[in-house]
């Protein structure tokens, strides 16, 4: 699509200079006079009860300012995800800042604030804790058995923290009418975000009752509400902000940043001094939410011609020690994976189960990558069973624009068919049906693909709204205030582009304030691929509001009808004739005692994005190593506001999907201890694993999005694992039902 | 008047706890990692030209990061007051951050930023400057002579920086028709604000072009505009804020804080590191704006019955080396002092003249105390001449409600007669006409009085407007954002009360953000007694806007007409019946994806406040010492939003007026050097000089002000000197035409 002012252009990121010069400030960089340093004592047991805890020796250590435990800290129960799902969902508030019952290896026992990290660590060693060990369970299927130990008392019983059930049509009849029915079972691992900056917070509390928390949170406003509730403060007296940058997030900081904010705030309130708590990498691995592992069963029924008749999807997800975003993840897994294709009879059954492992929560894709791996792998298997090309099978059933789907409104624009067709052409799909050889005789190659969809936010499933101010300054520049963080995804740049185009000025004249509850109106935050699509809608509305107010003022001053006015790139015209610049108009406003403030207040629609990934892999049959050579990622992004940033999002998430497919996993030993708790032990793809990633942007110009945009942040991860598994099967003839496809597993499969 | 919700109650100040515990943060407290410290090299000459300046040795000193002079700093001309007077006033932009021509002892020659104050001071000594001395002039009457050296080339010639001329009626005919005409001449000294916190700023600049300045400024938004212009940045990329408190101001920080902000910003831009510049007390005395000294002539004509017929007022003010607020001060002196009484024929002639002394600028009263001393002393002399009681003379001519006055609109509510009558009764005015003795035979007592008026802002003389946001939070608390600083006057508390009452919630639920251009919409600032009256009007409008939006939402939800809804102290009623609390309503809003944001955008009216002071003094005829025993201060404040805070404002300014009357002055030696440059040499009244101050609040309920309020901040200073001079005359029979009435002058007068 043609650019509209600043929109549709790959302008450089506004944070680029600060980040390359090292000037950009992150939570870890904050340093206040008199600041204390916090460290956390964590449970060595997967399940235990604190019989007694003696902090007297720790408190006596010189330099120690506060020691917090379950005994001297609020017992308010909460859910760290800050999700506010709409009924019939019920909020699961199952954790306290410090729990007396410890439910995983790493659960918080106590925290110390001291004048140095060394003193804090020394104080931790002086805390005497008597534990009563309790029986533990690690697998969700085991945990659901009646005889399993109860991780929590559950309303639904059997350690079930949450469930989702989405029926459409008549699933039994759908299978009965199908010519072919297949049923497949998949197993998904625990993986971690591995964002560069760990969970971090600095909290400051004054005796007059003002709490300020700088942190890595992706949701400053909802977190502010939570902290106010936890500490019995009015929300107005609590300020939460990013400082302003976050070193990556990928869902790891939705709501709280693990417990960094609640613990830092509790200690700051006790010590009346600023307290900094920065998780080390080990804590990030063992004590901050992971992606949900679990078991997924897909039963698919089709007619001989490939028409899909019925889909049954069952997921049992391991949410670990606390529910966190688990119930929502369980729901999203279902919504997103029964909606790729038009299938008349569908049933989704999802369960989210407690175990004594690290809590699972939000992670890029939010359940969708798990479900997509299962559903899209099954689509390939169905194609094989029907003797059809798997691209052809997908195109036959693909979702079409404005078709009905699960949510009670049509599914908006759909560019899925175009994604599949253009991607297939670019990868050279016809090669899949020939023989592909590698460089060496022991190397074989294959091509595969997978399609998918996602959401652009969580409306109408949860509380979901955005506000923005756009204030014109006296020199014609503008200050945009939006409550969403920039986690590194470039949203500060993209929202500035939206504001510039909606108001009609140059993007260099827009200056954004973001991620600060004091400077911005309420916003639900940066997650769910929502930030550009949803917060951008509020920014667009604020820009239009400001433009309307400006034109009303100018029309009055100039004695012309408002409709005769136009402005582009800061040049104002009347009936197409140039009159004055925004700089001149702003000066006129100022001299007339007037500031234009645009207010945008929006509840987003939720237009799903669509995508198809094509992967080419090479398998070393001697070592079992799978190398991804090339990924073609075709995405219906609605409209690329900043194409470079959109491509960056897709490329980064494709790489994260490669890690998910081939190497990443955390496993627990028999005593519930995480075997992977460092980058040394956890196999994240490196720069050496980056394949050629070719991005195809399909622009369907979604009317509900700002300038046509949809969500894109999570999508690149969604179909990557399934596409690689599809390519691996094409190369070696083995279909993996479990990821990661490690060398060991590939070798084992080749040996069969 | 009866309280309305939070309004009309002496609630404790919201900054009280922070200030008594020492937690409150001032600019001087700021400390950032890597921060540099700045020191300034100042002119030793009253008038000189820099022939050459060599900074090479200073730059080589280890620890020095930047040295700024006129050669490497912007040459943009500006006026530090940031005043934007409306036409026909012409802005006088006569200074640069560093001037090549130096115009007073203390003028800025260079500044250094280094890793410690000691290094910065050492570096100053390494700067080699060759000066060419120029002839200097110190007195404004001398400076206007054709042969005087030119401090600046002036459009008006003869060192005249500005003028004001306000004619009403026919002044010549007025005098011709008068039975009695007297003409008196007065001389006023240079005095200083002596606010506790000196001029201070911390500036930070990033390589991406963001400038942040924390400072003692009273006008963050206008200062932001000035800094943007000085350094060629868009206003949106500049943030100016108080941190958040200011340790007193009294006009000393209107616009820039002397040159703290421009110099700190220039050094930060050069060094790319945060720079802190805190003036020491000597710099505050010699190099930050003073009150205008000058000569005032009053010619007054009256009929035998006391009816005033004509007033000619002439002021020649010394604005020192730079114009700063001088032209505006000259105008305000006239406006406020030809408006106390209804006089049909009036002429004001004001001149503002450059000399080679410290710049004079804004100081509490802004010209009014000077003019009031002259006019009100003359009123007493006229009463004597007519053989009338001076209270009776005033009451006969007093301004009446909605009477025409100088500005082209009626003068609103007027409680002046009530102020005079109640004050006279309370002081026991009849005693003035009897004999009053002191404790000792050599001590004599007297009673005197003076009346006055002021303005509640600078509309319509200057750009003048206010904006405020009031955002309801999800728990029913509210965040108020207003761009005005709290300089210690308690405005954060008072604005919170206005917001609480206008919205209808408890004041404890209002949390204010102030004095930060990033968090607040545009506001012209805290000065001109305007903050409550003007910014309060915007806050009130924001509260009403939020209330209207809330009621519209609730009416829709509940199916009742909006008019049936009411809310007081957070309790919502429908037709008088309690329904829900604001907490419940806010939660309902939140669950409906909605935040209520009230936007207040106002241009203030300008209703003058009125006041009459009555003083009782004792004069020691042996030492010449005048002791003020008692001051009755009766003020038409419109409405006291927080009576304790209003009384505090009046009491503080009465004491400042006592210092003006009796002890404070700065004199210059023959080489232009200030003789008073420390608290040791400058005789500020101490706690021992505080008399019994009795405040009478007259509430005229001004319709244009928030809940009836008018300006009050400056008024207590205005008539104090004249009232004391009146009482001194009553005690010793000598009328002083010059202040301060020091022991020496009193003894000299007694000797005559």
* Complex ipTM: 0.95
Write down the residue that tokens 């080396």 correspond to: B321
**What is the mean predicted confidence (pLDDT) over B269-286?**
98
Quickly state the pLDDT bin for A438 (edges 50, 70, 90): confident
Residues of B in contact with A549 (CB under 8 A): none
B392 with B472, same domain? no
A673 with A685, same domain? yes
Q: Which of B556, B727, B676, B672 is nearest to B142 (CA)?
A: B672
DSSP strand E in B659-715: where? 692-698
CATH of the domain at B550: 3.30.365.10
**How is residue A105 written in tokens?**
């290896």
The sign one gets for the Cα dihedral A669, A674, A677, A681 is positive
B156 part of a folded domain = no
Q: Which pLDDT score is estimated for B1?
A: 87
**Dihedral-angle region of residue B476 (phi above 0 means left; psi in -120 to 50 means alpha; beta otherwise):** left
CA angle A192, A198, A199 (to 5 degrees): 100
Q: Determine contact, residues A613/A631, Cβ cutoff 8 Å.
A: yes
Summarised one tens digit per residue, pLDDT across range B261-270 is: 999 999 999 9
Residues of A in contact with B599 (CB under 8 A): 597, 599
Mutate which: A14, A16, A29, A234, vs B, most B CBs within 10 A: A234
Summarised one tens digit per residue, pLDDT across range B651-664 is: 999 999 999 999 99
B171 part of a folded domain = no
Q: Which of A133, A718, A242, A262 is nearest to A520 (CA)?
A: A242
Of chain A, the percentage scoring pLDDT greater than 70 comes to: 100
Summarised one tens digit per residue, pLDDT across range B183-233 is: 999 999 999 999 999 999 999 999 989 999 999 999 999 999 999 999 999
A682 part of a folded domain = yes
Q: Roughly how many angstroms between the first and final C-alpha of chain B, as a whole number?
A: 51
Rounded to a whole number of angstroms, the distance from the CA of B236 to the nearest CA of chain A is 5
Domain boundary pick from A602, A617, A646:
A602
Distance from C-alpha of B188 to C-alpha of B661, rounded to nearest angstrom: 10
Beta bridge partners of B578: B573
Measured between alpha carbons, how far is residue A67 from residues A39, A211, A403 in Å?
10, 19, 57
Quickly state the pLDDT bin for B752 (edges 50, 70, 90): low
**Domain total of chain A:** 3
Quickly state the pLDDT bin for B529 (edges 50, 70, 90): very high
Q: Which pLDDT score is estimated for B394?
A: 98
A146 part of a folded domain = no
B58 part of a folded domain = yes
Summarised one tens digit per residue, pLDDT across range A504-561 is: 999 999 999 999 999 999 999 999 999 999 999 999 999 999 999 999 999 999 999 9
B229 with B367, same domain? no
> Least CB-CB distance to A521: which of B225, B513, B595?
B595
> Any chain A CB within 8 A of the CB of B577?
no
B7 part of a folded domain = no
Which residue blocks in A34-188 are alpha helix, DSSP H? 56-60, 117-125, 140-143, 171-177
> Any chain A CB within 8 A of the CB of B153?
no
What contacts A433, CB < 8 A, 6 or more positions away? A389
* C-beta atoms of B518 and A522 within 8 A: no
* Chain B residue nearest residue A238, CA to CA: B511
Max CA separation in chain B (angstroms): 84
Question: Among A621-630, B139-148, B155-164, where is mean pLDDT lowest?
Answer: B155-164
Residue B88 has pLDDT above 90, yes or no: no
Summarised one tens digit per residue, pLDDT across range A219-253 is: 999 999 999 999 999 999 999 999 999 999 999 99
Residue A666 has pLDDT above 90, yes or no: yes
Q: Which residues of chain B from 236 to 265 reach within 8 Å of chain A, CB to CB?
A: 236-237
A259 with A297, same domain? no
> Any chain B CB within 8 A of the CB of A466?
no
Measured between alpha carbons, how far is residue B304 from residues B179, B386, B415 in Å?
6, 6, 26
A259 with A301, same domain? no
Mutate which: B595, B596, B605, vs A, most A CBs within 10 A: B595
**What is the mean predicted confidence (pLDDT) over B479-507?**
97
A115 with A227, same domain? yes
A475 with A588, same domain? yes
Residues of B in contact with A18 (CB under 8 A): 206-208
Question: Among A79-88, A193-202, A478-487, B544-553, where is mean pLDDT lowest?
Answer: A79-88
Q: What is the DSSP string of B201-216?
A: EEEEE-TTS-EEEEE-
* C-beta atoms of B521 and A471 within 8 A: yes
Enter the DSSP assignment of A362. Answer: -
Number of CB pairs, chain A paired with chain B, less than 8 A apart: 148
Domain boundary pick from A555, A574, A602:
A602
Strands lying side by side in the sheet with B293-302: B160-168, B345-354, B308-320, B293-302, B180-188
Rounded to a whole number of angstroms, the distance from the CA of A272 to the nearest CA of chain B is 10
> Least CB-CB distance to B511: which of A23, A29, A237?
A237
Q: What is the DSSP string of A556-604?
A: HHHTS-GGGEEEETTEEEETTEEEEEHHHHHHHHHHTT---EEEEEE--
Write down the residue that tokens 């919170």 correspond to: B496
Q: Determine contact, residues A327/A458, Cβ cutoff 8 Å.
A: no
* C-beta atoms of B465 and A237 within 8 A: no
Distance from C-alpha of A626 to C-alpha of A731, rounded to nearest angstrom: 10
| A155 CB-side CA count, 13 A | 11
> Any chain B CB within 8 A of the CB of A206?
yes
Distance from C-alpha of B659 to C-alpha of A518, rounded to nearest angstrom: 41
Residue A406 has pLDDT above 90, yes or no: no
**What is the mean predicted confidence (pLDDT) over B310-317?**
98
Quickly state the pLDDT bin for B154 (edges 50, 70, 90): confident
Average model confidence (pLDDT) across chain B: 97
B450 with B576, same domain? no
Radius of gyration of chain A (CA): 27
Strands lying side by side in the sheet with A48-54: A101-102, A48-54, A128-133
Enter the DSSP assignment of B725. Answer: H
Quickly state the pLDDT bin for A435 (edges 50, 70, 90): confident
Q: Which of B287, B310, B233, B270 is nearest to B76 (CA)?
A: B233
Distance from C-alpha of B183 to C-alpha of B185, rounded to nearest angstrom: 7
**What is the mean predicted confidence (pLDDT) over A60-66?**
98
A539 part of a folded domain = yes
Residues of B in contact with A601 (CB under 8 A): 594-595, 597
Residue B90 has pLDDT above 90, yes or no: no
Q: Roughly how many angstroms between the first and final C-alpha of chain A, as a whole number?
A: 51
> Least CB-CB distance to A595: which of B459, B467, B590?
B467
* C-beta atoms of B471 and A522 within 8 A: yes
Q: Which pLDDT score is estimated for A528?
A: 95
Mutate which: B593, B597, B598, B605, vs A, most A CBs within 10 A: B593
Residue A752 has pLDDT above 70, yes or no: no
> Any chain A CB within 8 A of the CB of B19?
no
Residue B112 has pLDDT above 90, yes or no: yes
Residues of A in contact with B237 (CB under 8 A): 477, 511
A371 with A480, same domain? no
| B173 CB-side CA count, 13 A | 7
**Dihedral-angle region of residue B24 (phi above 0 means left; psi in -120 to 50 means alpha; beta otherwise):** beta
**How is residue B472 written in tokens?**
């309801």
* Chain B residue nearest residue A274, CA to CA: B23
Residues of A in contact with B236 (CB under 8 A): 473, 477-479, 509-511
Burial of B590 per CB tally in 10 Å (0-12, 13-18, 19+): buried
- Cis amide linkage into residue B741, ω under 30° from 0: no
* C-beta atoms of B234 and A511 within 8 A: yes
* C-beta atoms of B14 and A208 within 8 A: yes
Domain boundary pick from B585, B602, B619:
B602
Summarised one tens digit per residue, pLDDT across range A128-152 is: 999 999 999 999 999 999 999 999 9
Give the domain range for residue A238: 31-134+196-248+253-287
A337 with A219, same domain? no
Measured between alpha carbons, how far is residue B424 from residues B691, B695, B712 in Å?
18, 13, 21
Q: Which residues of chain B from 21 to 50 reach within 8 Å of chain A, CB to CB?
A: 21, 23, 29, 31, 33
A154 part of a folded domain = no
* C-beta atoms of A236 and B477 within 8 A: yes
> Any chain A CB within 8 A of the CB of B544?
no
CATH of the domain at B42: 3.90.1170.50
Residue B360 has pLDDT above 90, yes or no: yes
Q: Which of A536, A440, A516 is nearest to A246 (CA)?
A: A516
A312 with A221, same domain? no
A436 with A536, same domain? no
């Amino acid at each position: 699509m043609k650019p509209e002012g600043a929109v549709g252009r790959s302008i450089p990121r506004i944070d680029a200079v600060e980040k390359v010069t090292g000037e950009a400030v992150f939570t870890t960089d904050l340093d206040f006079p008199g600041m204390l340093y916090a460290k956390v004592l964590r449970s060595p047991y997967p399940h235990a009860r604190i019989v007694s805890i003696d902090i007297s020796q720790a408190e006596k250590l010189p330099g120690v300012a506060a020691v917090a435990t379950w005994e001297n800290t609020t017992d308010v129960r909460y859910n760290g995800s800050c999700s506010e799902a709409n009924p019939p969902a019920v909020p699961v508030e199952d954790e306290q800042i410090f729990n007396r019952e410890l439910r995983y290896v790493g659960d918080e026992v106590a925290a110390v604030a001291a004048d140095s990290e060394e003193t804090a660590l020394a104080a931790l060693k002086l805390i005497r804790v008597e534990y009563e060990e309790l029986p533990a369970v690690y697998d969700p299927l085991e945990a659901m058995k009646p005889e399993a130990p109860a991780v929590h008392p559950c309303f639904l019983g059997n350690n079930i923290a949450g469930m989702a059930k989405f029926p459409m049509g008549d699933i039994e009849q759908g299978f009965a009418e199908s010519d072919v029915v297949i049923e497949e079972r998949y197993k998904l691992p625990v993986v971690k975000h591995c964002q560069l900056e760990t969970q971090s917070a600095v909290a400051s509390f004054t005796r007059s009752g003002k709490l300020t928390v700088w942190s890595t949170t992706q949701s400053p406003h909802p977190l502010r509400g939570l902290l106010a509730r936890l500490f019995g403060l009015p929300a107005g007296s609590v300020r939460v902000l990013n400082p302003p940058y976050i070193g990556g997030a990928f869902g790891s900081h939705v709501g709280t940043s693990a417990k960094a904010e609640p613990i830092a705030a509790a200690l700051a309130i006790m010590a009346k001094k600023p307290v900094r708590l920065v998780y080390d990498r080990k804590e990030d691995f063992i004590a901050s939410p992971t992606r949900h592992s679990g078991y997924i069963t897909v039963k698919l029924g089709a007619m001989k011609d490939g028409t899909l008749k019925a889909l049954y999807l069952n997921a049992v997800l391991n949410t670990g020690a606390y529910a966190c975003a688990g119930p929502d993840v369980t729901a999203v897994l279902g919504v997103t994976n029964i909606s790729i294709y038009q299938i008349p009879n569908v049933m989704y059954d999802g369960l989210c189960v407690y175990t004594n492992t690290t809590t699972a929560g939000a992670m890029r894709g939010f359940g969708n990558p798990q479900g997509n791996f299962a559903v899209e792998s099954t689509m390939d298997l169905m194609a094989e069973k029907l003797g059809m090309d798997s691209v052809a099978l997908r195109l036959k059933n693909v979702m079409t624009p404005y078709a009905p789907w699960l949510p009670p409104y049509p599914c908006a624009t759909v560019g899925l068919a175009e994604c599949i067709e253009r991607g297939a052409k670019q990868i050279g799909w016809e090669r899949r049906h020939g023989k592909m050889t590698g460089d060496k005789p022991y190397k074989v190659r294959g091509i595969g693909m997978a399609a998918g969809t996602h959401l652009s936010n969580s409306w109408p499933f949860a509380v979901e709204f955005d506000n923005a101010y756009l204030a014109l300054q006296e020199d014609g520049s503008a200050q945009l205030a939006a409550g969403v963080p920039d986690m590194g995804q470039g949203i500060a740049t993209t929202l500035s582009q939206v504001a510039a185009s909606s108001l009609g000025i140059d993007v260099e004249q827009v200056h954004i304030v973001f991620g600060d509850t004091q400077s911005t109106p309420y916003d639900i935050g940066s997650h769910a691929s929502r930030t550009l699509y949803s917060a951008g809608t509020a920014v667009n509305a604020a820009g239009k509001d400001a433009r309307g107010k400006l034109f009303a003022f100018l029309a009055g001053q100039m004695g012309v009808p408002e409709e005769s006015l136009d402005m582009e790139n800061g040049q104002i015209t009347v009936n197409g004739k140039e009159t004055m610049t925004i700089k001149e108009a702003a000066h006129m406003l100022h001299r007339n005692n007037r500031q234009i403030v645009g207010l945008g207040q929006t509840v987003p629609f939720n237009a799903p994005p669509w995508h198809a990934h094509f992967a080419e892999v090479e398998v070393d049959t001697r070592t079992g190593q799978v190398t991804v050579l090339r990924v073609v990622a075709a995405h219906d992004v609605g409209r690329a506001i900043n194409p470079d940033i959109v491509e960056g999002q897709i490329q980064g998430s494709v790489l994260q999907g490669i890690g998910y497919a081939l190497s990443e996993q955390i496993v627990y030993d028999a005593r519930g201890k995480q075997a992977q708790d460092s980058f040394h032990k956890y196999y994240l793809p490196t720069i050496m694993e980056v394949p050629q990633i070719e991005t195809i942007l399909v622009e369907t110009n979604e009317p509900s999005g700002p300038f046509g945009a949809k969500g894109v942040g999570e999508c690149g991860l969604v179909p990557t694992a399934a596409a690689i598994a599809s390519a691996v099967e094409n190369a070696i003839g083995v279909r993996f039902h479990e990821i990661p496809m490690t060398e060991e597993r590939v070798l084992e499969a080749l040996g069969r």
